Structure 1
Amino acid sequence: MAAGLFEVGGIKFGNFTLTSGKTSPYYVDLRIVPSHPKLFDKVCEVFADLVGEIRGDYKLAGVPTSGLPFATLVSQKLNLPLLYVRKGERSHGRKKGIEGEFEKDEIVLIDDVSTTGGSLENAAETVEAEGGVVNHAVVFLDREEGAEQNLKNVGIDLHACFTISELVECLRENSILDEEKYSLIMENLEENR
């Protein structure tokens, strides 16, 4: 899986400036994955396995915008109802923050990557403002920069298919990532934990 992500450019190494303004020696872009159907299916299969471990009666909601393609395929694989959280407030129509049918249901959020958990927390606030309940969020990759604890602080358990540590370790073991880049990433990770 790690090699496949690297081959399609889903993970890159270099010097990148993130949305937060921080610099990083790697960049994860899972928005490219749906353009590769076989890899997309494999990624969603891993997602579905992890989501399937969560007990209870719930619906899935994709976090805008990167989480929505994954949530869509996972909902089909597990035969679970799909909702999606809108990005920003709507000032027209029904002025809903969430699309799909739900009342006071439990919602499991789906997103591609977590860093600090801010996008997931915002999505959970939108769901809860409309009467839903969020106790779980599932991401494909956790960058291990505080999301798990930040979400736990607001009552949400974060489930990650992989952590960045696991992903780069796999790339190193398969000789895709050299020792110098591996060390740089692990040092960066320690600084940002």
Structure 2
Amino acid sequence: MVEVASPQDTSLQHRFTQFLLQSGALRFGDFTLKSGRQSPYFINAGAFDNGAKIALLGEFYATVVQNAIADGLFPKRIDTVFGPAYKGIPLAVSTAIALTSAHDFPIGYTFDRKEKKDHGDGGSFVGTALRDGMNVVMVDDVMTAGTAVRESIPKLKAEANINVVGLVLSVDRMERSGDGDISAVQAVEDEFGFPVLSIANIREIFDAASHITASDGKTILTSEVQAQAERYLDTYGSR
């Protein structure tokens, strides 16, 4: 966890970057990703490990949803926020709470079970029941290849004839999907036809981090890490 100085920039991306640094979710070093790539930075969703952090994270997601509605990217009626198990569960719940309490936008939350339950309330989903015609916003943390989306949408559609109207991520790593030139985000948008938004993309995060200092006045993002990040994005970034 990093203690950072008081904010000079109050933009969403800057505030979110400060939050990532303070919570220990944004780390610099040498990390092996699920894809096998060696990355000089890592976003660790497991760092959002208490009520205060997950509440603030939900507020960031809720702000993106509200902005998307205002900009006409999402419809004005959204019935539930869906988060794929397991990491998407606290994201869906905290986003729904923030939208309802802080934005006066009553909305449900839904998440799936890894295995269908055949006793008690039963079924494959928990939370707001899915019904035909519902508008659903999906939330997830960081998209690498879009696997969670491709697994979740058939499950949602099998439950009811719902409309997935968009997906909100915490961070867009802006990396190519497989061997193509487009990003995983662009690939999902092209495949499913709904917008994929993020609280911030990796370039916005690095730009903000370069202007953030620790509480002792020291630079948090060194020029060496910045150079490593640029080389990484030159190799794996979308064109």
**Normalization by structure 2: what TM-score?**
0.72
Amino acid at match of 1:42: L
Q: CA deviation at 1:26?
A: 1.1
| Residue of structure 2 in register with 1:85 after alignment | 112
Instruction: Give structure 2 stretches of 5+ with no counterpart.
Output: 1-15, 100-105, 176-182, 213-218
2:76 to 56, 59, 66: 56
1:103 aligns with 2:124: no
1:148 to 185, 207, 213: 185
The CA RMSD over aligned residues, in Å, is 2.0
| Residue of structure 1 in register with 2:146 after alignment | 117
2:89 to 54, 57, 68: 68
**Normalization by structure 1: what TM-score?**
0.88
Aligned length: 191
Three-state SS of the structure 2 residue aligned to 1:123 is helix
1:178 aligns with 2:178: no
CA deviations 1:27-46 (Å, max 9, x no partner) are 11122214261x43332212
Q: Following superposition, which runs of at least 4 residues in structure 1 exceed 6 angstroms of deviation? A: none
CA deviations 1:9-32 (Å, max 9, x no partner) are 201111111122222111111222
Three-state SS of the structure 1 residue aligned to 2:138 is strand
Q: Give the Cα–Cα distance (whole angstroms) in 1 for the partners of residues 95 and 22 of structure 2.
A: 23
Instruction: Give structure 1 stretches of 5+ with no counterpart.
Output: none
Amino acid at match of 2:28: F
Structure having greater relative contact order (Cα 8 Å, sep ≥ 6): 2
Q: CA deviation at 1:91?
A: 6.7
CA deviations 1:29-71 (Å, max 9, x no partner) are 122214261x433322121111122323221111221121121
| Residue of structure 2 in register with 1:47 after alignment | 61
1:169 aligns with 2:207: yes
Q: CA deviation at 1:163?
A: 0.6
Structure with max Cα Rg: 2
1:189 aligns with 2:233: yes
| Residue of structure 2 in register with 1:134 after alignment | 164
Q: Give the Cα–Cα distance (whole angstroms) in 2 for the partners of residues 95 and 16 of structure 1.
A: 40
Three-state SS of the structure 2 residue aligned to 1:188 is helix
Q: Give the Cα–Cα distance (whole angstroms) in 2 for the partners of residues 190 and 64 of structure 1.
A: 32
1:29 aligns with 2:35: no
